[in-house]
Structure 1
Amino acid sequence: MNRWLTAVVPVALGGLIAGLVVTVGAAQAAPGDNLAWTATASASYTSPWESVGAIRDGVDPPRSNDTANPRWGTWPNQGTQWVELTWTSAQTVRAVEVYFFDDNGGVRLPASWRVQIPSGGGYADVAGASGYPTVVDRYNLATFTAVTVTRLRITLQSGAGSVGLLEVKAHAQPPGGGPTTPPPTSGWNPPANLVTGINEVWAHQESTYPNLYGFRNYGWDQVFANRGSLNFCVRWDSPASVTATQRDQIHAALARQYKKWIDVMVGHNNWPYATVPIKVVGWAVRDRAQLQWSDTSVDIYVNNIRENAPQCAEPCGRFFNQNGQYPNCPGGAARHYDQSLWLTAGFGGGAGGDWGQRMGSEYFMNNINAENMHIFLHEVGHTFGLDDFYDWTPTGVGGFLMKAGSASSITEFDRWMFRDWWRHLKSRYGY
């Protein structure tokens, strides 16, 4: 499979590494639609060395036994424990995700948990809860009948030890179930009018790419290698400076746009993840002075040049280490990056592949708050294997996002092409 599927400009690998300067710090995720981001956190009890504020700090954990980032824990206390989110104004909430802290020692998975709201001077369980899973190394999602509250409580009952949480997310719409997302489908049942075109697309891909099934670094492979998340490096290939506010806006836009593709899969054909958190772990730049922040929220790589552009450390990149091992990554395996967001001044069009996505820095910044950043969305499609359609159009289909220039958002045909990749590859992940 070609590792550089391009929308406009093919780009070759090459170049030399020059100097390298690294700073290491905690990687913070964009808030997205997470209402917990704006809440104040409190708890029944917090171990003196832990922090209840950690549950809403936006840091997506790499695993349940996370020793690098802040967390909330109740050791040595056991029994019923809780954390509470409090807002200054009423919020409507329909879903909660929790990431459990489990250190295989004194803090373990809870025996059970539930979401509660104030009721009659006490607290009552929310109605219509979908269930309360307790799984390590991933977010555990509970959806329920909408509540409008200023306080929301997560109550945990201890099991083999004390309990703890790494992160809590609260959502106005269940992940993948928002008003602009099509209803999830339980199996392979595309609309009848799209079946012929979808089959033509897959046959075309099989005939065009002899290694289609053997290639092991699609976006799908990366998601499963990380147990349901993706890490990014930003390659800032521009002479412009970046403020901390602009950095956070870039992170937020990246997460918001990527979510549009992941939402296509939620609830479909045994797809196992309700969300796929996007975490920016590094920035690459020619001159450190361009980055106008001093905090350590991301690793920073200076004057490490590849393809005549700044590059995050190769020992941390999945493109260069597809066995999933990162023994020489300066920040450790948790700071590896799966894909790069490569923003190049004056770059026309876009390019995308297993390495990530490239487009003009001006385009990205000018569309930072756009509902659909269509060039970026198109290139993410390539990361997951979707093809270009320069010289043909599938039967019975009009404009769609992967046919560059014919649509500005993900269409129904794009969704089913995307799901078709999962249908053909899911057995490699045990589904």
Structure 2
Amino acid sequence: MRLRRLAVPAAVLVALLGIPVAANAAPGQGDNLAKAATATASYTSSWESVAAVNDGIDPPTSNDTVNRRWGTWPNTGEQWVLLTWPTAQTLRSADVYFFDDNGGVRLPASWRLQSWNGSAYTDVTATAGYPVAANRYNAVNFNPVSTSRLRVVLQSGAASVGVLEARAYATAIGGTDPGTPGGWNPPANLVTPLNQVWQHQEQTYNNLYGFRNYGWDQIFANGGSVNYCVRWDSSAPVSAALRDRVHASLARQFKKWMDVMVGHNGWPYQTVPLKVVGWAVRDRSTLQWSDNSVDIYVNNIRENAPQCSEPCGRFFNQSGSYPNCPGGITHHYDMSLWLTAGMNGGAGGDWGQRIGSEYYVGALDADNIHILLHEMGHTFGLDDFYDWTPTGVGGFLMQAGSAAQITEFDAWMFRDWWRHLKSRYGR
């Protein structure tokens, strides 16, 4: 099953660029209540910003060099960041993404949450301890508290400490609705259209279950991560700073689909890290950096465009073995982000996503890069809806031109794929 779809005609693209988009919903939860709070801190380095901790921007890694950050260098010892609401909130979970630049700011030795009881800060009662890990959110469930202040207290270890993002919720992370293993509980109004969609897919694609290179397969083959290579089908120069922004933006958009699954129906991953391992170009001088952070492929032309090394690509080596890939499996890529100069609309499938380079570069800071999100949906098997609409729904991302973000119906279609395929991963 190789999906190659034109997503959005140029006229629709122009119209959609003016559509306002909603703020991020919390992964597997309701709204992230932290975004409504005011952030303060024990200390903030003069070049950092405490407002970073609840600005709603998901970090690509703990060493985020693109978005603003909160850090306490050179201060060490106990440090804290405080979220304050104008009125009391009932909270029962939170997650924190730590700042770690492999230098003066490192992961904390430990951390805890405290709530304000009206006269003092008291530790919340966490149900399963406080994890400390890089490159992901560290989630904590706790006994419900009603408070107007939630404080994240960090104890430094090898260096100073910092936080990239802190989120707070009124529900438990990985809770029972719909997060219990084996659970499937879509809203009542979506049951009929979801069944229609799945029946349509089964009737349309004869190899629906036999196909083994969906995005789901790629993630599980890697044990919960994904690698990309960028096909830069353009003569426009790329600086190191632009390269890093491309990587960060791609990770943020991919994470939006992954967040749909967190805590749902036995999905085993809190985060699915994305790494860009290479760039392909016609002319090496197009890439204006000299470091070796990614592999570079020059003038390897396929489909009249620069192609990343085929021996390193999963599309060409679906056994999961890469014996002829220079550097071995760590340098392999699962998908390509194919950026084509002058292209309108897009295409997507198990090989990756293709969209216009000018469109993508112009949207790097956008909350939702809707054409890319649409094409990522195809990578995981979601279909187009050019000639029919399921009963009772309309205006969703996979119905090209009708929405500019992942909607509730898109999210439940995505989860429905997992429901039907998860048994092949032993879930």
Task: Output the TM-score relative to the length of structure 2.
Answer: 0.69
Specify the alignment match of 2:28 in structure 1.
none
Structure 1: stretches of 5+ with no match in the other structure = 10-32, 41-54, 60-84, 99-112, 119-123, 156-163
Structure-2 separation of matches of 1:429 and 1:138: 24
Equivalent position SS for 1:315? helix
Would you say 1:95 and 2:95 are equivalent positions? yes
Q: Aligned partner of 1:196: which letter?
A: T
Deviation at 1:3, TM superposition (A): 4.2
CA 1:134–1:329 in structure 2 vs 1: closer, same or farther (change >3 Å)? farther
Shift of 1:426: 0.5
Q: Residues 314 and 174 (structure 1 numbering): CA distance in 2 closer, same or farther, change over 3 Å?
A: farther
Greater relative contact order, per chain length (Cα 8 Å cut-off, separation 6+): 1
Question: Does the 8 Å CA contact 2:229/2:308 hold for their aligned counterparts?
Answer: yes
Q: 1:174 to 1:228 in 2, by over 3 A?
A: farther
Task: State the Cα distance separating 1:377 from its structure 2 match.
Answer: 0.5
Question: Secondary structure at 2:320's aligned position in 1?
Answer: coil
Q: Distance in 1 between matches of 2:411 and 2:367?
A: 17
**Distance (whole Å) between structure 1 residues aligned to residue 110 and residue 255 of structure 2:** 26
| 1:97–1:142 Cα contact (<8 Å) kept | no
Tell me the distance in 2 between the aligned counterparts of 1:201 and 1:264. Answer: 18
**More displaced stretch, 294-303 vs 133-142:** 133-142
The CA deviation at 1:139 is: 6.1
For residues 260 and 305 of structure 1, do their structure 2 counterparts lie closer, same or farther at Cα, with a shift above 3 Å needed? same
Determine which of 358, 366, 369 is the counterpart of 2:365. Answer: 369
Aligned 8 A contact 2:95 2:140 in 1: yes
Once the two structures are aligned, what percentage of the paired residues are identical? 63
**In 2 relative to 1, CA 288–39 (structure 1 residues): closer, same or farther, beyond 3 Å?**
farther
Q: Is this contact kept in 1: 2:131–2:138, CA < 8 A?
A: no
* Shift of residue 141, structure 1, vs aligned partner: 3.6
In structure 2, the CA distance between the partners of 1:125 and 1:308, relative to structure 1 (3 Å rule), is farther
Whichever residue aligns with residue 362 of structure 1, its letter is E
Map 1:23-422 onto structure 2 (within 5 A).
Answer: 56-57=62-63, 86=72, 91-92=81-82, 94-96=94-96, 114-116=110-112, 127-132=124-129, 141-143=138-140, 147-148=150-151, 152-153=154-155, 171-173=165-167, 185-186=179-180, 187-422=183-418
User: In the TM superposition, what is the alpha-carbon distance from 1:97 to its structure 2 partner?
Assistant: 6.3
Answer whether contact 2:178 2:184 (CA < 8 A) is retained.
no
Provide the C-alpha distance between the structure 2 equivalents of 1:424 and 1:138, rounded to a whole number of angstroms. 29
Deviation at 1:329, TM superposition (A): 1.0
Counterpart CA distance in 2 for 1:39 and 1:210 is: 58
Q: CA deviation at 1:39?
A: 8.6
Letter in 2 for 1:392: W
Asked whether the 8 Å contact 2:62–2:97 carries over to 1, the reply is no
Q: 1 CA distance for matches of 2:133 and 2:112?
A: 22
Note the C-alpha offset of 1:171: 3.3
Instruction: For 2:130 and 2:423, locate their aligned partners in 1 and report how far apart those are by CA, in whole Å.
Output: 24
1:304 deviates by 1.0
- Superposition RMSD on alpha carbons, in Å? 3.8
- In structure 2, the partner of 1:159 is none
Structure 1: distance between partners of 2:252 and 2:281: 24
The answer for the alignment partner of 1:22 in structure 2 is none
| Amino acid across the alignment from 1:387 | D
Q: Give the deviation of 1:210 after TM superposition.
A: 0.5
TM-aligned CA deviation for residue 152 of structure 1 = 2.1
SS of residue in 1 equivalent to 2:249: helix
Question: Retained in 2: the 8 A contact 1:5–1:387?
Answer: no
- 3-state SS in 2 of match to 1:172: strand
TM-score, structure 1 normalization? 0.68
SS at match of 2:220: helix
After superposition, give the CA deviation of every residue in 1:230-269 in whole Å (9 maximum; x if it has no partner): 1110110001001111111111111111111111111111
Number of aligned residues: 334
Q: 1:430 and 1:153, CA in 2 relative to 1: closer, same or farther beyond 3 A?
A: farther
SS of aligned partner of 2:167: coil
- Residue 260 of structure 2 aligns to a residue whose secondary structure is helix
CA distance in 1, matches of 2:396, 2:306: 33
Letter in 2 for 1:303: N
| CA 1:301–1:352: 2 relative to 1, 3 Å | same
Kept after mapping to 2: 8 A contact 1:138/1:228 = no
CA distance in 2, matches of 1:130, 1:310: 51
Cα displacement string for residues 111-132 of structure 1 (whole angstroms, at most 9, x for unaligned residues): xx853589xxxxx996343525
Contact 1:7/1:351 (CA < 8 Å) preserved in 2?
A: yes
Contact 2:113 2:124 in 1 (8 A): no
Distance 1:314 1:403 in 2: 32
Distance 1:349 1:413, change over 3 A: same
CA distance in 2, matches of 1:133, 1:328: 42
Quick one: distance in 2 between partners of 1:195 and 1:327? 45
Taking a change above 3 Å as real, the CA distance of residues 223 and 133 of structure 1, as seen in their structure-2 partners, is farther
Q: Distance in 2 between matches of 1:139 and 1:345?
A: 33
Unaligned runs of 5+ in 2: 10-34, 36-43, 47-60, 66-70, 84-93, 99-108, 115-120, 143-148
What's the CA shift for 1:173? Answer: 2.0
CA contact (8 A) 1:138 1:227 kept: no
Conservation of the 8 A alpha-carbon contact between 1:303 and 1:310 = yes
Secondary structure in 2 aligned to 1:265? coil
Question: Is 1:4 matched with 2:1?
Answer: no
